[in-house]
Structure 1
Amino acid sequence: MAISSAGIGSGLNVDDLVSRLMAAESAPLTKYDARTAAFQTKLDALSKLSSAVGSFQGSLSSLTSSATFKALSASVSNSDVLKGSATAEAAAGTYKVSVNQLAQAQTLNSAGYASMTSSIGGGAKTTLTFQFGTTSGGRYGVDASALSGAVATTGIANGSLTINGTAITTSNTTRSAQALAAAINAETEDTGVTAVAQQTATGATLFGGAGSASFGGVTTTAGASYSLSVGGVQIAAQAAGIAAGAAGSVSAASIDDALTGNNATTQALAAAGITFTGSAANGDLQFFSVEGANITVSESVEGSVTGGLNNSGTANNGMTTTVTAGISLSSNNGSAISVAGSNPSLAGLAAGSNGSYLGASFAQDGDKASGVVTLEPGEQSLQGIRDAINKANIGVQASIVSDGSASPYRLVLTSTKTGEKSSMKITLSGENGTTADPALQALLGYDPAGAQGMKQTSAAQSAKLDVNGVAVTSDTNNISGAIQGVTLDVSQTGKSNVTIAKDTNAVKTSVDAFVKAYNTLNSTMKSLTSYDPETKKGGPLVGDSTVRSVQTQLRGLLGNAVGEGKLNTLSQVGITFQKDGSLAVDSSKLNKAMTENFGEIAGLFAAVGKASDANIKFNASTSKTQPGTYAVSITEMASKGNVTSTAALGATTTIAPNTSWMVTLNQTDPETASRTATVKLNAGTYTPEELASMIRAAINGNSNFVENGDTVETKIEDGKLSLSSTRWGSGSNLKIEPMTGSSVDDVFGAGAVFNKGKDVAGTIGGAPATGSGQTLTAAAGSKAEGLKIDVTDGVAGERGTISFTQGYAYQLNNLATSFLGKEGLITNKADGLNVSIKAVDKERVRFTERLEQTEKRYRAQFTALDSMLASMQATSSYLTQQLAALAANS
């Protein structure tokens, strides 16, 4: 049997021998480890350097933005009323602001229903169209019925009436609309409701109108008398013993004579606040009190009298009647008026929530997109209507509330936008433009100028302010532009001062952060490259050319002057190098520079572009943009896709029911299906301005266009309607094709041309530039490469110059990018070290593979030796035995 383990046969310790030999052979492995460790140490050090450069670059972000140096602070004296913020366009100063009204959204409530899920109406497909605009004129309130005759005698008991939770103080003296209005107005501050007494008017048939008996001539017998008084003023009287028609008798003609001209009777009526129209002879004489005072008409009779009011020759026993009026309530903020009390009917009012627009008009705002909601069969319950409206995302939030009554469920619709221009108008139509189901019409139809099926509980209301005595109106409570460059966020009514000042703290904070980050970077580089003569040890990057290059380039840039303004060195703003290579800030010198040359500091740090043409704005630049002044020449201005009617519109234009147009807006190449949509136009007769608003709102309300961010704008010029995309450039286009109802030609005329938009074109610095919309970008390879300008207005031609400068922070940011970028100095060095580490690893692997082969060879050799020795030992033993046997035999 062969020997299975080295050394067993001969006793030779092969493993120990091989182990000792391999230990000697493996000694070079430690050199590989040392080389890898050295490379890794440098790599870790470079990582620290990279991190420090990155932090330094991060500190430059605010200094590279010119906005930092234009920042203004806004402080307010009453933060409960408003808060403020300012941009660079603001002017320093103190502004007095009075917030008189907050903006709010309109809310509409439906009548109550017993079920949320039961179908309303016949269930046919129905289209809801929501328009948004301004409700103006008239008032929001309720007209009460005339006070009863009993009230005119006994008044209104206290506790009978409350309005919006406030009790109205009344008594037995509250006998007229005039008195009731005064009582209500005494509580206006709490109720938000004002009252006006309606006109008091005697009946149209008082003197025989409408077929009743005419005023009969009066006959008084001996000892008898007759008098007629209106509002306590005697307008006719007859003594005893006068027959009808005789001298001194009272007749329709004599009454008319008494009311003609300026005489004692007419003067007395005027003093009593009573006016009149018509004539007794024609039977249409009526008396009025515009202040709502009661008018008492009295025939006083003594003895035997015939004739008089509605009396032709029959006995007259005398008569007294009091004519009353009602009141008209108006909600000061357009909210529903809650009426309650022990007996509100005495005031001519019904208990509950009351109110509607009376005598108002509605004008659609074309800037607010119309919304279309389709109720499919089965969606006509309150719940279905709510879900359909919310799903359509048209700017209206629908919900259902329960008031706990027998029919508790009410649909509540709230506009998602505030402001008086966000008032809603809701129209309904059946399939293909047919009349909508009456039940749904009664539920949802809402026209401030007409039928109002829903009830307004809060009006669309704009914020109203006074700024330094100037009235300001805003659709929202976040108000920009009332003070140029300032945004006010108002939260309640009241007064506050707003003080705008230069925000020097922002600049100082940014400068301090920049200096701190540079010093951290400088300290990091110093620690990585330092040498300690006592320990005779150096930093991991001592003598490294990469760190030296970073240091040299940074210090060189910071030591050079930049720009051509009043400030072009760091020392001018108090930033100087110290002996140890760090930076320090002289705060007093920085503050002085900000005080005296605040407008120049931006050019010291940021990239700044200034155009000589007010309609050209600096947009952006790149690291390849070189400082300089470049001429700007425009060969073509940007335009929008548009169409203009071929002739001036008529005084009105009628859009037929069920009118639909196929509209394509800002179509792409290749075409995108979502940029073409069917747009439904609301039927009606429109003035040119109303037509422009309706078409604009209808297109902008289409869901396809909303999702793409595409909108149109309209205007009327010289009577012509112009419709255009709001986008600029070659991607701006518009096309309309008729589908049903009124055609496109009915509005724009036959042969109207749909023009495509064009990009701005021209040169910057004499080199061709690329246009995109209104933005022009300098071409690659030119000195101005990457410089972007916006040409917002003006005409083609020579447009002056654009000057571009690069401040310290901007250049340092680019320099840091050159260190850390894909092909950057530090990145390349790190890549080289990683390559070296990988190369050492490969050498180690190859050397390890050679060691394995050497070990195999040693083991093979010693195993052979072991076998040979074992064989020799066996031979020796055999010979010894043989020799011993020979000796014994001899």
Structure 2
Amino acid sequence: MIDVASIVSQLMQVESQPLTKYDQKTASYQSKLSAYGSLSGAVGVFQSALGGLTKSTDFKGLSATASNSDVLTASAGAKAVAGNYKVNVTQLAQSQTLTTLGLASSKSSIGTGAKTTISFQFGSVSGGFGLAGTTLNSTVARDGISNGSLTINGTAIATDSTTTSARALAEAINAKSTTTGVTATATPASTSGTLFAGFGNVRTGADGGYSLSVGGVQLAAQGANTAAGAGITAASLDTALTDPSTVLTALTNAGITVSGKAADGTLKFTRADGANLTVEEAVTGSAAAVSGGIGNGGGQVNGGSSTTAVSGISLSSTDASPITIAGSNPAAAGLTAGTGGSYLGGAFTQDASIASGVVTIDATNNSMEGIRDAVNKAGLGVTATIVSDGSANPYHLVFTSNATGANASMKMTLSGDGADPPDSALADMLSYDPAGSQKMTQTSAAQDTKLTVNGIAVTSHSNNVGEAVQGVTLTVTQTGSSTLNVSKNTGSVKTNVEAFVKAYNDLNGTLKKLTGYNADTKTGGALQGDSTAQSVQSQVRRMMTTSITGLTGSLTTLGQVGISFAKDGTLNLDSGKFSKALETSFDDIGALFGAVGRSTDTLVSFTSSTSATKPGTYALTVTQMATQGALTSSAAVPASTTIAANTTWSVTLNDGEPSNSKNTTTVTIPAGTYTAAELAKVMQSSINGASAFSSAGSSVTASIGTDGKLLLSSAKYGSASNIAVSSVSGTTTDSLFGGATPTAGKDVAGTLGGHAVTGTGQTLTGLAGTDVEGLVIDITGGAAGDRGTVSFSQGYAYQLNNLATTMLGKTGQITSRTDGINKSIADIAKQRATFADKLTGIEARYRAQYSRLDVMLSQMQTTSSYLTQQLAAISANS
């Protein structure tokens, strides 16, 4: 028998020898693919190391460190200036809180359910917040105020028998101001305006004498035996009180002012400091020795008189919080026990930069809970909550402004439906005007952050204070003092540059290993002689040894900052030279590494560029400035304009083609009578308060021009900027704008270095295919015409980053090469598979052939055995 399997196996070993060559080719390609993987990774790591160096702003960062982080923290931007600052925070910003009187139920209906609109406006308030006391009782002038009669905010005010005037009471209160947070001011003490009405001519008999004094200053005196009309008269008093006058000088020195005339009965004396003011007639002689004088116009006998004018006090809360009055007899001080406070003589000035809004209350939501939910849902910049104090009428509706700062005080005005008045119960509960009706209690006043920087006073509406130190944002957390050190962040720059040097050396080492020859092992790298790998190496090195073009600073090469190549191709960093460059040319180092755009016009700013933007200096010509869509009234608005109740307008803002309904909404203008300036503020805040616009990032500005006309403008610039208004109800738009037609905005237009650009709003962008492709600049002011130049340069890190991106991109060198290798591997695999399929056929043929031969040999052996047997038999028979 033939060993077919062994024979076929040996034959197939010979036939299969080409498979080894296929495997060897595949292994070779796999080795290169792995090597390119290493190369790709090294280029990626190198690119990552460039991340902190590609923008010039990466080199302008400064660090800001506060000595007392409990008081403030700080961050410094690119515009910050290194230095040391002393910061003293005396007040933190807070929001205003208003609280209603208590009700027994938060769910019960309030009022009749008549449709009522609540308008929320925000602004600043002038005038002190506190309590106005009444005039002190005349018994106080005699007996004083007993100790324990008055406490303010839990602190007892020390009073006694000497506290006989408003001035003395104010002094006693102010002695405790540091603990009460309250200061007192005595109101002026004035004599009655009719005290000298009917002043009679003074007559003195043989033993009579008369003198008249005010506040201890003698106005006039008359001796004995003077007939009526021959001495003191109303006219003579007026003469004595006419400047120049020693009497008038004496009164002035005593703090007493004079108004009116005795002759017409209007003579009045006032003491501004609130001290008691006594008018005294002193009479001597027998019972009828003197006649005439005060109240004796008919010549009646004058037995002498003394009249004391007293005043009261007003209290002012230093932080505009409620004041609590208590004690055994606060009425003696002209005050009423309890907690409260209001703005006294206040005025409200709306801040147009804060959006206002309205909410409608009717029979569906006229409960505390309904009002709360309606306000919160409307997104007015106010949070409404309900607080229970556990009393008989425990539920209070509390409104808190979402914004902090003294400019975020609330004004709440209620109006009815059309000509109907607002629901009286709601108006009596919710009306709050610092200049008028204040139905709610202010439990927390809107206030600014107050601090000093190197002794200079600074205020901020929030606790994040920007630009108190240029380019630095302070976040204050409590009152107190701290020093602030702002310094160049050279440490991070040096770290980034060191990482850049290391990453290049790692890349260079990887390339050297992959493309070089190891004399010790007598083996070459996987990419030895590979043109793509050699190209990567040469491109990177060539880029790093070429000077940067387009720079306007003092640095143009890496060698100038201490970065140079060693003989073995590695990159070295001279720390000393680099540190010196950081000290002397910090800003220019940014340009050496990153992409930098600079303009000679301060109103032109570089925004961005692309890898296609070519370095150079380009002349900028503006042929058309960007404008805003606007509507200007046809005539000057009057000095006073009344907006009717239920005034609503349809406003369309920044609508496009085709029109989108989302760009149109209904706006409510709060009812009231406004000056021209106030009208502009009301319109701006009302339109900006519409959620449809605020959610879309659209807004308007309103102002009164020098010609007195009302100007309403979209805050947006360009062809997408437009505005239109039309009346829905109440005061019409035509009554204010006179049927004027709005104008649409225009995009900026011009050229850069003579190249075509496209304008969008205030932004110019270089067109594809030009030297300025992808260069983006903003033109925020100025006029059409020649606007200087815009210079652009690409630093080393920026160029290398773009190069790495190109190499690793879908069509880049490395990607294309690895794609080619993968294709070759796939082709070999396909060829190998085809050849393997062919070997299967060959093996089958061999097996068939040798199997038939084996059968034939078997048959022949059988025949041979038979013949042998037969021959043997014949032989035996013979």
TM-score scaled to structure 2, two decimals? Answer: 0.86
* Secondary structure at the counterpart of residue 330 of structure 1: strand
Aligned match for 2:448, one of 443, 449, 462: 462
The correspondence of residues 211-250 of structure 1 with structure 2, limited to 5 A, is none
CA distance, structure 2, for counterparts of residue 848 and residue 161 of structure 1: 111
**How many angstroms apart in 2 are the aligned matches of 1:146 and 1:13?**
136
Deviation at 1:63, TM superposition (A): 1.6
Q: Give 1:6's aligned residue.
A: none
- Once residues 545 and 375 of structure 2 are traced to their aligned partners in structure 1, the CA distance between those partners, rounded to angstroms, is 65
Q: Is the 8 A contact 2:417 2:645 kept in 1?
A: no
Correspondence for 1:518 among 495, 504, 512? 504
Residues 706-717 of structure 1 aligned to structure 2 (within 5 Å) = 706-715=694-703, 716-717=705-706
Question: 2:54 is matched with which residue: 44, 64, 81?
Answer: 64
Distance 1:441 1:858, change over 3 A: farther
Determine whether 1:356 maps to 2:351. Answer: no
Contact 1:253 1:281 in 2 (8 A): no
Q: Does 1:261 align with 2:254?
A: no
Identity of aligned residues (%): 55
Matched-pair contact (CA < 8 Å) for 1:99–1:493: yes
Note if 1:602 corresponds to 2:584. Answer: no
1 CA distance for matches of 2:229 and 2:866? 181
Q: Give the counterpart of 1:145 among 116, 124, 134.
A: 134
Distance in 1, Cα, partners of 2:850 & 2:649: 99
Cα distance in 2 between the residues matched to 1:266 and 1:515: 88
Q: Distance in 2 between matches of 1:594 and 1:234?
A: 81
Matched, 1:346 2:361: no
1:276: Cα distance to partner? 6.3
- The Cα of 1:341 is off from its aligned counterpart by 3.8
Structure 1 pair 568/267, CA: closer, same or farther in 2 (3 Å)? closer
| CA shift for structure 1 position 792 | 2.2
The CA distance in 1 between the partners of 2:744 and 2:293, in whole Å, is 83
**Cα drift, residue 709 of structure 1:** 0.4
The one of 92, 99, 108 aligned to 1:102 = 92
Q: Verify the 8 A CA contact 2:204 2:227 in the aligned structure 1.
A: no
Distance change >3 Å, CA 797–CA 276, structure 1 → 2: closer
Deviation at 1:43, TM superposition (A): 2.7
Deviation track 1:467-515 (CA, whole Å, cap 9, x = no partner) reads 4554443322323334433333334445555454443334322211211
1:762 and 2:757 aligned: no
Measured after TM superposition, the shift of residue 811 of structure 1 is 1.0
Q: Secondary structure at the match of 1:398?
A: strand
Cα 1:433–1:414 shift into 2, 3 Å: farther
Q: How does 1:447-846 map to 2 (within 5 A)?
A: 447-468=433-454, 470-563=456-549, 565-715=553-703, 716-750=705-739, 752-846=740-834
Residue 327 in structure 1 maps to residue 313 in structure 2: yes
Secondary structure, counterpart of 1:717 in structure 2: coil
Amino acid corresponding to residue 140 of structure 1 in structure 2: F
Structure 2 unmatched runs, 5+: none
Q: In the alignment, does 2:279 pair up with 1:291? A: no
The 2-side partners of 1:769 and 1:363 are apart by 45
Residues 1:195 and 2:174 are matched in the alignment: no
**Corresponding residue number in structure 2 for 1:436:** 422
Question: Alpha-carbon deviations, 1:502-550, whole Å to 9, x = none?
Answer: 4333432221121122122222323334443444444443433322211
- What is the SS of the residue equivalent to 1:695? helix
- Give the AA of the match of 2:393: S
Question: 1:236 and 1:762 mapped to 2: Cα distance?
Answer: 86
What is the letter of the counterpart of residue 682 of structure 2? M
Aligned partners of 1:236 and 1:790: how far apart in 2? 80
Distance 1:268 1:756 in 2: 70
Secondary structure, aligned partner of 2:459: strand
Contact 2:201 2:232 in 1 (8 A): no
**Is 1:42 aligned to 2:26, yes or no?**
no
After superposition, the C-alpha distances for 1:747-768 in whole angstroms (9 at most, x for unaligned) are 2223x23111111112222222
Other-structure match for 2:162: 173
User: How many Å apart are 1:152 and its aligned residue?
Assistant: 4.3
Deviation at 1:788, TM superposition (A): 1.9
Structure 2: distance between partners of 1:175 and 1:388 = 53
The alpha carbon displacement at 1:272 in A equals 6.5
Report whether the alignment pairs 1:55 with 2:45. yes
Distance 1:844-1:119 versus aligned 2 partners, 3 A rule: farther
Q: Which of the residues 335, 339, 359 maps onto 1:373?
A: 359
What is the CA distance between 1:782 and its match in structure 2? Answer: 1.6
Relative to 1, partners in 2 of residues 1:666 and 1:269: Cα closer, same or farther, differing over 3 Å?
A: closer
The Cα of 1:41 is off from its aligned counterpart by: 3.7
Q: CA RMSD in A?
A: 4.5
Q: CA deviation at 1:66?
A: 1.2
Deviation by residue 1:598-619 (Cα, 9 ceiling, x = unmatched): 3322332122222233332222
Asked if 2 retains the 8 angstrom alpha-carbon contact of 1:237 and 1:250, the reply is no
- TM-fit CA distance, 1:283: 6.9
Closer, same or farther: CA 551–298 of 1 in aligned 2, 3 Å: same
User: Taking structure 1 as the reference length, what is the TM-score of the superposition?
Assistant: 0.85
Listed as ranges, the matches of 1:297-312 within 5 Å are none
Contact 1:260/1:266 (<8 A) preserved: no
8 Å CA contact 2:632, 2:712 repeated in 1: yes
The 3 A distance-change label for structure 1 pair 797 and 271 is closer
Compute the displacement of 1:664 (Å).
1.0
- Over 3 Å counting, the alpha-carbon distance change for 1:34 and 1:193 in structure 2 is farther
Report the Cα distance in structure 2 between the residues aligned to 1:293 and 1:357, rounded to whole angstroms.
25
Structure 1 window deviating more from structure 2 (434-443 vs 298-307): it is: 298-307
Q: Deviations over 1:317-364 (max 9, x none)?
A: 999886543210112232222333444333332333321111121121
2:105 aligned with 1:115: yes
SS at match of 1:338: strand
CA distance in 2 between counterparts of 1:336 and 1:36 reads 87
CA distance in 2, matches of 1:533, 1:220: 139
CA distance in 2, matches of 1:569, 1:839: 47
Q: Distance in 2 between matches of 1:863 and 1:554?
A: 66
Offset of residue 79 of structure 1: 4.5
Matched-pair contact (CA < 8 Å) for 1:764–1:784: yes
Q: How does 1:400-419 map to 2 (within 5 A)?
A: 400-419=386-405
Deviates more, 1:764-773 or 1:838-847: 838-847
Q: Which amino acid aligns with 1:60?
A: L
> Conserved in 2, the CA contact under 8 Å of 1:769 and 1:777?
yes
Question: What runs of 5+ residues in structure 1 fail to find an aligned partner?
Answer: 1-10
**Aligned residues of 1:238 and 1:249 also touching (Cα < 8 A):** no
Displacement of 1:574 in angstroms is: 0.2
Given that residues 340 and 351 in structure 1 are in contact (C-alpha distance below 8 angstroms), is that contact kept between their aligned partners in structure 2?
yes
CA distance change for structure 1 residues 532 and 236 in 2, over 3 Å: closer, same or farther? closer
Q: How many residues align?
A: 868
Alpha-carbon distance between aligned partners in 2 of 1:66 and 1:624, rounded to the nearest angstrom: 18
Task: Please give the alpha-carbon distance, in whole angstroms, between the structure 2 residues aligned to 1:148 and 1:654.
Answer: 45
Distance 1:860 1:236 in 2: 157
- Counterparts of 2:753 and 2:269, CA distance in 1: 85
Moved more, 640-649 or 549-558: 640-649
Does the 8 A contact of 2:222 with 2:232 survive in 1?
no
How far off is 1:583 after superposition? 1.1
Q: Which residue identity does 2:133 align to in structure 1?
A: A
